[in-house]
Structure formats: C-alpha cells, structure tokens
Amino acid sequence: MSLRSWLSIPRGSHFSLANIPFGIISTDASPKPRPAVAIGDYALDLEAFTAKNGFSACSIIQPHQTVFSQTTLNAFAALGRPIHSVVRKYIQSVFSENTPHSEILKSNTSLQREVLIPLKEVKTHLPMHIGDYTDFYAGRNHAFNVGSMFRGKDNALQPNYNHLPVGYHGRASSVVVSGTRIRRPQGQILENPVATPKQPIFSPCKKLDIELELGALVCKPNKLGEPITISAAEENIFGVVLMNDWSARDIQAWEYVPLGPFNAKNFGTTISPWIVLVDALEPFMTKGLSQETELLPYLREKRKENMYDIRLQVNLTPESGKTTTIATTSSKNLLFSFPQMLAHHSITGCPMNVGDLLGSGTISGLEPTERGALIEQTWNGKDPIRLEGGEERTFLEDGDTVTIKGVCGNNEDSLVGFGECVGTIEAAINLQPHIG
Amino acid sequence: MSLRSWLSIPRGSHFSLANIPFGIISTDASPKPRPAVAIGDYALDLEAFTAKNGFSACSIIQPHQTVFSQTTLNAFAALGRPIHSVVRKYIQSVFSENTPHSEILKSNTSLQREVLIPLKEVKTHLPMHIGDYTDFYAGRNHAFNVGSMFRGKDNALQPNYNHLPVGYHGRASSVVVSGTRIRRPQGQILENPVATPKQPIFSPCKKLDIELELGALVCKPNKLGEPITISAAEENIFGVVLMNDWSARDIQAWEYVPLGPFNAKNFGTTISPWIVLVDALEPFMTKGLSQETELLPYLREKRKENMYDIRLQVNLTPESGKTTTIATTSSKNLLFSFPQMLAHHSITGCPMNVGDLLGSGTISGLEPTERGALIEQTWNGKDPIRLEGGEERTFLEDGDTVTIKGVCGNNEDSLVGFGECVGTIEAAINLQPHIG
C-alpha cells in the first residue's frame, strides 16, 4: 500500500498515514462525543463518515456501523483485532494516492468539509469507558532507583520483582483525558518521620510528582475463573496511550503500609486522547530489559521482541516560564510486556473487560536524564533540577504544566505518534469552610 | 406506622416490614433482571408493581418510575436518600394493616399473583453496576491479629493505623453476587521462604481464606477535585450488604510488597443480593471500637454512635458434611465508619460514583470464636479448627461452602436482616493445555 496521501500531512506529524489512531471527539458545532481517527492536522469524524456511506467499500464493518455513533470506543474495540486491522487499512487506503478507495474523499470536497475537522477545533474526550484500571511497576530502572532511595541498593528490588509483573489495582474513576486540570490533593502527611509518637498533619501535598507511563486498553474480555494465556494475550489488547500517573509522594509515604498506595494515586491519572492500535506499533517492536530470571511457563512469551520502542519525552512548563525537557527515554525500558501483564493479572481467573486500562509502571532509562519521575530526578527532593529560565524544581508547583510526548519511527513522513498527554496543576481547594 | 403486615411474614424472617431491602431479580418465566424488594418469603417485583400503577399514591417517585425497569439499582440509588426514604415508607405502608395504602395489594389477589414472587423461585443478580471497589481495613482486631502473626504484638499495627482508614483499591470486575461459585485461584507461591535465592512455584492456592466484611454502596457522586465532607458523607451511602472478600493468603504473601495485595484478591468478592437501606439500619447504630487517637478534623464525626450493630455469623459446610458455625461477632468491631471512609477516600478529590462499593475490612471480635478470617482462626494454619462431623480445616477445601449471615434486632417479628452471602469453592482449572 502506498503511504503517500493526497491529504497534505505536515512532515513530522504524529498522525501520518502509517498511524491512524482512534479517539473520541466533539466540536462546538456538534457537541455529542463520537469516534474519530487523527490524520495529519485533521480528525476524520467517523460518525459523519459512516452516515455519508464512507464505509460502503468496507464490507466487514457494515453490520457493525453503529459502533461509530457511540460516545466511547468500547463497542468498536469489542469487535476484535481482526476488524480493527481491516478498518485501519481501509482508512489508510481512503487517504492514500492511487488505491481503489482514493476517490471516496479525495475529489469530494463537500464530503471533506463534512467529515474532516481541523484538530485545533476538536475537543477530545476519554476514549473508552474504563471499567477497571490496574497499574503495574514494570519499569525496573525506576523500581531500582526508588528502592535504592528507601532501602539501599542491595535491597532495592523486592525478591518477587523479577518473577512477576508487580502491580496494584488503581482507581478507574480518576482516569482523565489529556488537558484535564489536576488539583493538588490534600491529606495526611508525616512531616517529622523520626518523632515519636508519629503524628501526621493535614496539608496540601508538598511532593506532587509525575509518572511517565504507557497505558494499554483491553479489547477482549475473559470470564471469571478463566485465565488469559500468554499466547492469546496480545489479541486482547486494543491499543496504547501515553499516561501520567500523578503521585503524591508524601501522602504515599505515610499511608502505604501495609496495603499499598491509595490516596496518593487516586486524584488523577491522565491519558493521551488518541489510542494507537497494536497493529500500528508492530513495526516498532524491540527487546525490553533483559530478564535475569527464568520465568514460570505462564509468563513465557514466544516472541523475543516484545516491547515497543517509543521515544518518550517529558516537558515541564512553569506558569510564567519556558518549557524544559526534563526527561527523554524509550518505552523499551520495561521488564514485562502488556501480554505478560494480562496473563499474570488473569491467572487467578480475574475477569478483564473491554476498556480496562493497564499502566506499565514508570519508565526510566539508566541515565539521570532518562528518569520518568521527579522523585528519581531530584532523589526525593534532595537535588533540585534547574529549568530553562532559572527556576528550580524538586516537585511540582501550582501552575506547572507537564506534557508527555511519544513517537515511533525515524522517517518524518511516516511517524507513528501519540500526540500529547498534558496536565496543569491547580492549587489545592480551600477546605476551611468544610472542616474549620 | 403499624409494623403489622397483612402478608404472612414468618417469625424470624430477615425481611420483616421494618426492613424493605432492595435487589435485582429475575425468574424463569421472566428472565430480564429488574428491581425488587424482599418482604417475608416474597420478592415484590417493582417493575411489575410500577406497570400496574402500584406507585400511583406515591407522587415523589412518579416522574422517576423508569428506575424500576433498569437492570441495576444505580438509577434508583441516584435519586438520593430522601427519595429512598419515601419509597421505603410507602412500601411499608402498602404491606401494613390499616394504612391509607393497605388496600392496594391486600385485597387484590390477582395483583398479588402478578407482583409477589416466592423468594425460592427468584434468581438474584448483582444489585448495582459497581464502577470502582475499594476495600478498607477498619477491623482493628483483625488487623491486630494479622499484624501480630507477622510482625509481633508490639508492631502489630502500623503507625498510620489509628489515624486514617487504611484501604486499597480493589477489583470491581470480580465482585459477584451471592451464590456464584468461586474457582480456586492459581499463581506464584513461595513454598520455602527461607531458601535463597527465593524461587516461587506455580500452584493452585493452598491457603484459600474468607474475609467477613460489610460492603456499603454509594448513591451520590462527587466531582474530581471536590472532597466529600464528613458531615455530608452519610447522605452519599445508599445501603449495606454482607461481603466475603475471598483471599489467597499464599499468593498474597509473595506478591504484596511493595504495592499491596493484587492477585490474592481479584478472583472473587461475594456480596449479598439485598441492599439494606441506611434508613433501615438507623435504629441499630451503636459505638464502634474506641478511638485512641485524636483524629484530624476531616475525619471527626458529630455522632458518637456511628457503627451498625449487626449480628454476624460465618458458617462452613464441607461438600459432604454438616454445617459448622465458625465465627459469630458484631459489625460494631470497626474503628472507622463508612462516612469516615468516604471522607478519607475523597479528601484528595477522588471522584466517587453511584454504585461504588466500599468494603469495611475483615470484622473480628476479641475472642477466638469471633474471628472473621481463617488465617486468624487457625493462626496462619498452625491450629486447625474442628468441624461438626470431625473434619478439620486450616484453610478452605474444594467443595466447601461458606455462608455469611447478618441480622439486626431482637424482636423476631421485626428483624432487619441481610439474608445470606454464599459461595462454594470449585477446584482450580486445569491449565496444562494452556501452559504445558
């Protein structure tokens, strides 16, 4: 298939013809959320495109076209990967030069006006209804750094770490789409950890952090009591998004024993709006971190190249300042893949549903400039980082904007990118009227 | 209001006129799940009752009657506690002797045949769509026992324990209604904790346990970033169910550091089918465990009697054996109330949704016979318990049925009970075809 489009797609666009990511959009003129794909500087409104018989030459989707008038992508995702694959290729064909489907839109400028909306006029929404959200901890460099900080290098990783993808159940209701403002959380903090008795104070979080992650969205359910096998698991993944799992480190330090992080993680988790399909990422598979341990059979993958090589970047922009890139790394810095996470998660018989979200865990490379969380970058606040323009940061200040970007490929005409995952910190709410 | 009913309600029924719990039912003849209340030995089919103008004398529900043709109680719950209260009182009035509404059903036997279904002919379903499930750890006697087991009595409770309701996010997709069979989970177990290096095996769980809990269901949402205050929190709770949070202790012991229990808890959590409204439980409020610590203001409740005094019982029935009551206690053995849990959970701005489930944590009294988990009863398997008929148990065997019961009140004609929360253990699935 030709990857040249008749549509003008700017060089360096994340949304080249090689990508075709799916999302949910609305516009001022048409405020109902509906499915779309991103291509170049446009969104193709799939509800409108369907209504105008845009899929008339794509027979496989014909019986299912109502999926494109839903307010989430769950129904489309539930059709399964073989159908996603055909639909993506069909849309590529519609936008390509010299294919049987080139003429559907190319020479029909009135149809173009109806179905192609400039991305800058589009509002994006949470792309799926997320039933359950699970966050893993598969970024071994991150786990090692944080473990070293609190337990020393020799005990940095717990004995289970290399044997299974450590994870915990997260809070689905607080997953939000890129652009949603994040209010600084409040809660109990132990300011003086050595005083006895230990007496927490009530305070806005003073150690507000980011976590650079990938998120995977599930497209195939399994029943209670029936595990997903490692060989089948890849078929259960719809696509991937960028994720920022905002974390309140001081709240976490006090609350987390013995049952794990709770309020430190439930005030907001931001995901990027465009779901990049597994098919689009397939050319960018590579090896992840080397497994030092022989895994139990239920976690053994046949493929050796099981990680996505996505170039990731974290930018921090103070309210009145310049943007600083505070981290760059690759998503290959993970010890376990999403299929391994699914196989482990469901080995007990835990049922997964369409729309469930799996977080990878914080992704950090080996170098200090590759660290995906401020707690690592500043070694728990001891070593501030310097921003362009002279400001320093240990953790996030009110008004700070964090932007995660991710992109695959080297040819500027055929990038497979995620766009941005953005959040700005708002000051904590005044609780005095409530608790004073 | 008279609490004598014209309907014959057996003495000792959990579903007296003082109760009126809500659930979701279906029958062989009418398989669509729909709302109902339990009364005596019957379910009042609220969809049918509505269709026959049963609510014609209850004006407040008139504009909202479609809530009774939903497949979950979420829409009814979302109407708010003032409406639940009126509807419950109206139904009490319909079933009472000598009220303005007595005649609606009492003398209309053909209507009775259409709307009253014997409970033994009814299939119950999960009563709400549960968006997120959170499990707390507020049973201090349980926390103390388990902490003593693993860290000794002096360090049994972590420093945060008395200051906040410790909790963790659970797995909503694995919450099931009473009667659903629970398959023994499999996973990684460290059989020899002292050998180095630590090498887990793959095995069916050998320490399958129960947790005697209450569950509370949320009826009022809060927005991201906007905490629920302690004084408002009670209005956000729809009602209460019995809960068994099945736990795989050996899987938990290996996996739980540093992010808490995960696969040990995601293969099934059973709740009783009938939601007892907060109004029905109000007469049974009492003091909980005494707080040894001054709480921060956001957790201070005005009312002193903030716990339900529900008599709880756990029965164990082997596949071919007699039933043994293995624990009896009261639900007042909690350190934090559901309103405190809600205030804490949302203090960060975490959004709660209608249908969210909060687990109390395992409820144990001080005596050995009052312990709500086998790990406490058998001190992690060291001291087996003896069952009627001579069998012994450390943890659950395949074929074991666990039945939790709960009831309030002393007058056998006006009990407010929960019915039963039941689950039977199935053998682990054969995974050889998958992983061999």
Q: How many helices (H) and strands (E) does chain A have?
A: 11, 26
Q: Is B132 on the interface with A (CB under 8 A)?
A: yes
Cβ <8 Å between A172 and B132: yes
Phi/psi region, residue B53 (left: phi>0; alpha: psi -120 to 50; beta: rest), is left
Burial of A59: CB neighbours in 10 Å, binned 0-12, 13-18, 19+: exposed
Comparing CB atoms, the residue among A187, A255, A347 nearest residue B186 is A347
Output DSSP code: residue A434.
H
- Give the integer Cα–Cα distance in Å for B199 and B191: 8
Q: Is the peptide bond before A227 cis (omega within 30 degrees of 0)?
A: no
* B199 marked as binding residue: no
Phi-psi region of B409 (alpha: psi -120 to 50; beta: other; left: phi over 0): left
Residue B160 near residue B295 (C-beta atoms within 8 A): no
CB contact under 8 A, A168 and B173: no
Radius of gyration of chain B (CA): 22
Instruction: Convert the pLDDT of each residue in A192-227 to its tens digit.
Output: 999 999 999 999 999 999 999 999 999 999 999 999
Tokens coding A203: 């305070």
- CA B212-B256-A207 angle, 5° bins: 110
Helix, strand and coil content of chain A, in percent to the nearest 5, comes to 25, 25, 50
Chain Cα centroid distance, residue A147: 24
Arithmetic mean of pLDDT over chain B? 96
pLDDT digits (tens, 9 = 90+) for B207-238: 999 999 999 999 999 999 999 999 999 999 99
Residue in chain A nearest B293 by alpha carbon: A199
Query: Measuring CA to CA, which residue among A316, A300, A302, A406 is closest to residue A360?
Result: A406
pLDDT for A141 equals 98
Q: Which of B108, B109, B90 is nearest to B99 (CA)?
A: B90
3-state SS, residue A107 = coil
Question: Which residue on chain A is closest to B168 by alpha carbon?
Answer: A262
Is residue A281 within 8 A of residue A237, CB to CB? The reply is no
Omega prior to B197 cis, within 30 of 0: yes
Cβ–Cβ contact A152 with B under 8 A:
no
Tell me how far apart the terminal alpha carbons of chain A are, to the nearest angstrom: 66
Tell me what the mean pLDDT of segment A330-334 comes to.
98
Report residue B342's pLDDT band, with 50, 70 and 90 as the boundaries. Answer: very high
Compute, in degrees rounded to 10, the torsion defined by CA atoms B306, B310, B311, B316.
Answer: -120
**A142: annotated active-site residue:** yes
Contact residues, chain A, for B160 at CB < 8 Å: 188, 198, 200, 254-255, 257
Identity of the residue in A176, A267, A347 whose CB atom sits nearest the CB atom of B263 = A347
Q: Is the minimum CB–CB distance between A427 and chain B shorter than 8 Å?
A: no
Q: Return the residue matching tokens 């040249």.
A: A4
Q: How much is the pLDDT for A2? A: 43
Rg of chain A taking only CA atoms, in angstroms: 22
The answer to whether the CB atoms of B262 and A347 lie below 8 A apart is no
Question: Testing the interface with A: which of B158, B262, B294 to mutate, by most A Cβ within 10 A?
Answer: B262
Question: Would the pLDDT of A166 be above 60?
Answer: yes
Would you call A298 and B132 a contact, using CB atoms and an 8 Å cutoff? no
Residue B433: how many CB atoms within 10 A of its CB? 8
| Whether residue B434 has pLDDT greater than 70 | no
Mean pLDDT of B378-386: 97
Flag whether pLDDT at A311 surpasses 70.
yes
Interface contact flag, A166 B436, Cβ < 8 Å = no
Write the pLDDT tens digit of every residue in A21-53.
999 999 999 999 999 999 999 999 999 999 999
Residue A186 gets which letter from DSSP? E
* A137 annotated ligand binder: yes
**What percent of chain B stands above pLDDT 70?**
99
Among B109, B119, B87, B99, residue whose Cα is nearest residue B13: B119
Q: Confirm if B124 and B271 have CB atoms less than 8 A apart.
A: no
Residues whose CB is less than 8 angstroms from the CB of residue B347 and which lie 6 or more positions away in sequence, other chains included: A185, A186, A187, A263, B227, B298
B284 touches chain A (CB under 8 A): no
Averaged pLDDT for residues B390-394: 96
| A367 among annotated binding-site residues | no
What is the 3-class SS of chain B, one letter each residue?
CCCCECCCCCCCCCECCCCCCEEEEECCCCCCCEEEEEECCEEEEHHHHHHCCCCCCCHHHHHHHHHHHCCCCHHHHCCCHHHHHHHHHHHHHHHECCCCCCHHHHCCHHHHHHHEEEHHHCEEECCCCCCCEEEECCCHHHHHHHHHHHHCHHHCCCCCCCCCCCEEECCHHHEEECCCCEECCEEEECCCCCCCCCCCEEEECCCEECCEEEEEEECCCCCCCCCCCCCCHHHHEEEEEEEECCEEHHHHHHHCCCCCCCHHHCCCEEECCCEEEHHHHHHHEECCCCCCCCCCHHHCCCCCCCEECCEEEEEEECCCCCCEEEEEEECCCCCCCHHHHHHHHHCCCCCCCCCCEEECCCCCCCCHHHCCCHHHHCCCCCCCEECCCCCEECCCCCCCEEEEEEEECCCCCCCEEEEEEEEEEECCCCCHHHHC
Residue B436 pLDDT > 90: no
What pLDDT, on the 0 to 100 scale, is given for residue B67? 98
Average pLDDT over residues B34-41: 98
Interface check B131 vs A, CB under 8 A: yes
Q: How many CB atoms lie within 10 A of CB A76?
A: 26
- Cα gap A50→A69, rounded to integer Å: 9
- Evaluate if residue A436 carries a pLDDT over 60: no
Interface test with B, best of A255, A300, A348, A357 (most B CBs within 10 A): A348
Nearest to A132 among B167, B172, B262 (CB): B172
Interface contact flag, B254 A160, Cβ < 8 Å = yes
Superfamily of chain region A22-125: Fumarylacetoacetase, N-terminal domain (2.30.30.230)
pLDDT digits (tens, 9 = 90+) for B6-28: 999 999 999 999 999 999 999 99
pTM over 0.90: yes
Other CB atoms closer than 10 Å to residue A291's CB: what's the count?
15
- According to the model, what pLDDT value does residue B25 have? 98
d(C-alpha A423, C-alpha A414), whole Å: 27
Please name which of B19, B170, B152 lies closest in space to residue B95, comparing C-alpha atoms. B19
Q: How far, in Å, are A186, A211, B262, B271 from residue B130 at the CA level?
A: 26, 27, 18, 11
Contact between A297 and B436 using a beta-carbon 8 Å cutoff: yes
Q: B350: which chain A residues are within 8 Å (Cβ-Cβ)?
A: 171, 173-174, 263, 266-267
Alpha carbon distance A46, A36 (integer Å): 5
Mean of the pLDDT values across residues A238-263? 97
Nearest-angstrom CA–CA distance, A270 and A177: 5
Closest to B350 (Cβ–Cβ): which among A168, A190, A266? A266
A270 is in an annotated binding site: no
Check A431 against B227: CB less than 8 A apart.
yes
HEC string of B404-432 equals EEEEECCCCCCCEEEEEEEEEEECCCCCH
- Which pLDDT value is given to residue B23? 99
Number of other residues whose CB lies within 10 A of the CB of residue B107: 10
Whether B403 and B422 have beta carbons less than 8 Å apart is answered as yes
Is A266 in contact with B169 (Cβ distance < 8 A)?
A: yes
C-alpha A169/C-alpha A185 separation (Å) is: 20
Rounded CA gap, A300 and A278, in Å? 20
Q: Please state, for a pLDDT cut of 70, what percent of chain A lies above it.
A: 99
A contacts of B297 (beta carbons < 8 Å): 202, 435-436
Q: Which residues of chain A have a CB within 8 Å of the CB of B158?
A: 257-258
Cβ neighbours of residue B235 closer than 8 Å, sequence gap 6 or more: B80, B81, B220
What the block records as the tokens of A278 is: 């597994």
The reply to whether A183 touches chain B by the CB within 8 Å rule is yes
**Cβ contacts of B61-64, under 8 Å, gap ≥ 24:** B61/B86, B61/B87, B61/B90
With an 8 Å Cβ cutoff, are B172 and A131 in contact? yes
Contact A257 B174 (CB under 8 A): no
B207 vs B381: CA distance, rounded Å: 8
Confidence at B200, pLDDT banded by 50, 70, 90 = very high
Q: Provide the ipTM.
A: 0.97
Q: Would an 8 Å CB–CB cutoff place B384 in contact with chain A?
A: no
pLDDT tens-digit map of B47-76: 999 999 999 999 999 999 999 999 999 999
**What stretch(es) of chain A map to CATH 2.30.30.230?**
22-125
- In chain B, residues with a C-beta closer than 8 Å to the C-beta of A267 are 224-225, 348-350
Contact B187 A348 (CB under 8 A): yes
Of the listed ranges A422-436, B65-79, B252-266, B390-404, the one predicted with least confidence: A422-436
Q: Residues near B121 by Cβ (< 8 Å), separated by ≥ 6?
A: B27, B28
pLDDT class of A162 with cuts at 50, 70, 90: very high
Q: For residue range B102-160, what is the model confidence (pLDDT) as tens digits?
A: 999 999 999 999 999 999 999 999 999 999 999 999 999 999 999 999 999 999 999 99
Cα(A4)–Cα(A86) distance, integer angstroms = 19
**Within chain A, which residue ranges are assigned CATH 3.90.850.10?**
133-435
Domain A133-435 has what CATH class? alpha beta
Peptide bond into A258 cis (omega under 30): yes
Active site residues of B: 142
Residues 214-243 of A with CB under 8 A from B: 224-227, 229-230
Q: Does B188 touch chain A (CB under 8 A)?
A: yes
At residue A292, the pLDDT reads 86
* Residue A202, helix vs strand vs coil: strand
CA distance B323 to A402: 59
Please choose, from the candidates B163, B165, B141, the residue with its C-alpha nearest in 3D space to the C-alpha of residue B289. B141
Report which of residues B329 and A291 the model is more confident about. B329
List A101, A142, A344, A345, catalytic entry: A142
Chain A residues touching residue B147 (CB < 8 angstroms): 258
* pLDDT bracket for residue A320 (50, 70, 90): confident
Does A381 reach chain B within 8 Å, measured CB to CB?
Answer: no
Those residues whose C-beta lies under 8 Å from the C-beta of residue A342, and which sit 6 or more positions away, are A218, A228, A233, A236, A237, A352, A358
Q: Judge whether B343 and B227 are in contact, CB under 8 Å.
A: yes
With vertex at residue A264, the alpha carbon angle to CA A385 and CA A129, rounded to the nearest 5 degrees, is 110
Q: Are B271 and B175 in contact (CB under 8 A)?
A: yes
User: Which residues in chain A have their CB less than 8 angstroms from residue B259's CB?
Assistant: 137, 166-168, 260-261
| Cα-based distances in Å from A181 to A174, A269, A315, A420, B260 | 12, 11, 16, 14, 29
Amino acid (one-letter) located at A182: I
- pLDDT per position as a tens digit, A364-382: 999 999 999 999 999 999 9
Spatial separation of the C-alpha atoms in residues B293 and A431, rounded to whole Å: 22
CB contact under 8 A, B297 and A202: yes
Q: Across chain A, what does the average pLDDT equal?
A: 96
